[in-house]
Structure 1
Amino acid sequence: MTAQRSAARRVWRTFRSFRDAVWTKLVASTKGRKPSSTCQIDSLAEIFAAEFDPMGGGQFVEVGAYDGERFSNTSWLADNGWHGLYLEPSVDYARLCRIRHCFNKTQVLNLAAGEGESEAVLMQIGALSTMCEDTLKEYERLDFAKRMMFKERKPQTTVVRTLNSILTDAGIEPGFELLVVDVEGYEEKVFSGFDLSAWSPQMLIVELHDCCDSFDDDSETAESASRVRQKILAAGYLELYRDSVNTIFKRMDQQQRQVA
């Protein structure tokens, strides 16, 4: 990519993020906003409304924010007045996320969540950006991912901290409403540095590839996702929804745990 094309793309993305910030906030202020048009869970609004009031206020944490709008599970909640904490390891996309949510009650941190305090290399591939080598190898063989990698592929070193320490420093209280984790194969690392039982979010949305046909040939990615799934279930959660990409978990109440 030439320097001119790179600069033009950067300007366009900045404009698009600010445009989204203005337009979606206007929509939210007049009639309440629904999930992003690129959200991968078609029934998210209905599932969420059965548990929470999308307009009533609450708090979410999203690990792997991307630009704050595309493929987001939470941008609509932020527009509707929820408090949010976004974690995004890419410098470029963290900047776009801040612009996108400049009118919202959100904090955007440019770092990654993992199993310890360290640094890691993020391979920036747009929405498929990953710090997981196994996932990157899979993307190199998958047609839909190879097309994106041809357009955009840039490594960046990023700071990694445990989610436990990030939430503590951000003043998040245990029992918050929603945790979203979408980090392209790095999910097990995130949960290794997170005491799920102690923080006990009421709902989780996690990208897990153990049910995805595209990753059938990658046993490690599927096994890692399966370990995360079992860890969440063992911590007292049940599945509300599952597709080939995302799973929604709900924290069981005391009576449900006794029956289980």
Structure 2
Amino acid sequence: MQDYQDDTLLRVGPAGKIPGLSEKWTFLFGRRRRATFVEVGAYDGETASATACLADFGWRGWYIEPVPAFAELCRQRHEANAVTVAEYAVSNRSGTSALYVGGALSTLIKQQVEDYARVGWARRFHKGEEIVVETRTLDAALSEEGVPTGFDLLVISVEGAESLVLDGFQLERWRPKVVVVGADDPDGDFATNHRISATAASVRARMISAGYVEPYAGETGTLFVDLSWFQDRCKLLEANT
């Protein structure tokens, strides 16, 4: 399969988690079709998605979404794409857990729902719906789905449960090249929320200590890149200019 010759990869919707994402993806990954991603907390596979454009272009993808209705929407959205939609939540253990359903803000963390209730734009998402969902660790999920080590992109969008996801994930084993984490701490609405800020700080410390750099942090997402891989990528780009 050849590198693409048009601008398909550049067409990232304006509701994406990171501004200028199309340019960032092009810089990091080039114009490639042979690549893989995993998105934890896929919702409908379209709204604020960092990966829908990649799936549309031909990347192999794995979406993980625990709410049955949302998982079905994701399947429908990507019916023509080379993706798998797995229907469970990712946490620090395999088993079951309560999940608080609130559209794109669904979460395993009850306190997160309480925090959303204090924010005008967010409180409308949660109406008191709670379901029990199956959980797996990310290690177990990746192994079960047959995801290769060293895959290209991991997106974690789990509304406050980021630490739970990373607790069940051997980062050194899987070593994704790029990781996007939907951390809320830079957002003005959550900047004074010590729990959310502490979660984001913990995630950041884990990633940095594992050899990742943080080229971007914004209101709804933080981008981490494997430093060693990034240095090699920059050398390649420099050699080709």
Aligned to 1:187: 162
1: CA distance, partners of 2:128 / 2:31: 36
1:56 deviates by: 2.5
The share of aligned pairs that are identical, in percent, is 34
Match of 1:156 in 2: 131
Q: 1:101 is matched with which residue? A: 78
Q: Distance in 1 between matches of 2:124 and 2:229?
A: 48
Q: Which amino acid aligns with 1:229?
A: R
Query: What are the residue-to-residue correspondences of 1:48-63 with 2, within 5 Å?
Result: 48-63=25-40
Cα RMSD for the two superposed structures: 2.1
Q: 1:95 to 1:237 in 2, by over 3 A?
A: same
**Is 1:245 equivalent to 2:216 in the alignment?**
no
Aligned mate of 2:115, from 109, 125, 138: 138
Deviations 1:212-259 (A, max 9, x none): 221234211210111011001111100121112211111011896xxx
SS in 2 for 1:146: coil
Query: How many Å separate the matches in 2 of 1:97 and 1:248?
Result: 23
- Aligned with 1:115: secondary structure? coil
2:15 alignment partner, SS class: coil
Q: Does 1:89 align with 2:66?
A: yes
TM-score for both structures, normalised by structure 1: 0.82
Specify the alignment match of 1:200 in structure 2. 175
Q: C-alpha distance in 1, partners of 2:88/2:35?
A: 23
Rounded to whole Å, the distance in 2 between the matches of 1:228 and 1:246 is 12
Matches of 1:114 and 1:222, distance apart in 2: 19
The 2-side partners of 1:164 and 1:137 are apart by 29
Using the TM superposition, give the Cα deviation of residue 30 of structure 1 relative to its aligned residue in structure 2, in angstroms. 7.9
Paired residues of 1:55 and 1:77 also in contact (CA < 8 A): no
Which AA in structure 2 matches 1:195?
Q
Distance 2:82 2:54 in 1: 10
Per-residue deviation at 1:116? 0.6
Q: Deviations over 1:90-123 (max 9, x none)?
A: 1110010001000000000010111011211111
Residue 134 of structure 1 contacts residue 220 of structure 1 at CA under 8 Å; is this kept in 2?
no
CA shift for structure 1 position 185 = 0.3
Query: Matches of 1:255 and 1:177 in 2, distance apart?
Result: 12
Q: In the TM superposition, what whole-angstrom CA distance separates every residue of 1:17-58 from its partner, at most 9, and x where no partner exists?
A: xxxxxxxxxxx9986251133213221111111111344220
Aligned AA (2:207): I
Q: Count residues with an aligned counterpart.
A: 228
1:227 equivalent to 2:202? Answer yes
- 1:32 paired residue number: 8
Task: Structure 2: give runs of 5+ residues left out of the alignment.
Answer: 232-241
Of 21, 36, 45, the residue aligned with 1:44 is 21
Bigger helix fraction = 1
CA separation of 1:113 and 1:255: change in aligned 2, threshold 3 A: closer
Contact 1:36 1:75 in 2 (8 A): no
1:145: Cα distance to partner?
1.2
User: Which has the larger displacement, 94-103 or 34-43?
Assistant: 34-43
Aligned counterpart for 1:121 among listed residues 82, 88, 98: 98
Distance, in Å, in 2 between the alignment partners of 1:47 and 1:113 is 27
Q: 2: distance between equivalents of 1:107 and 1:96?
A: 13
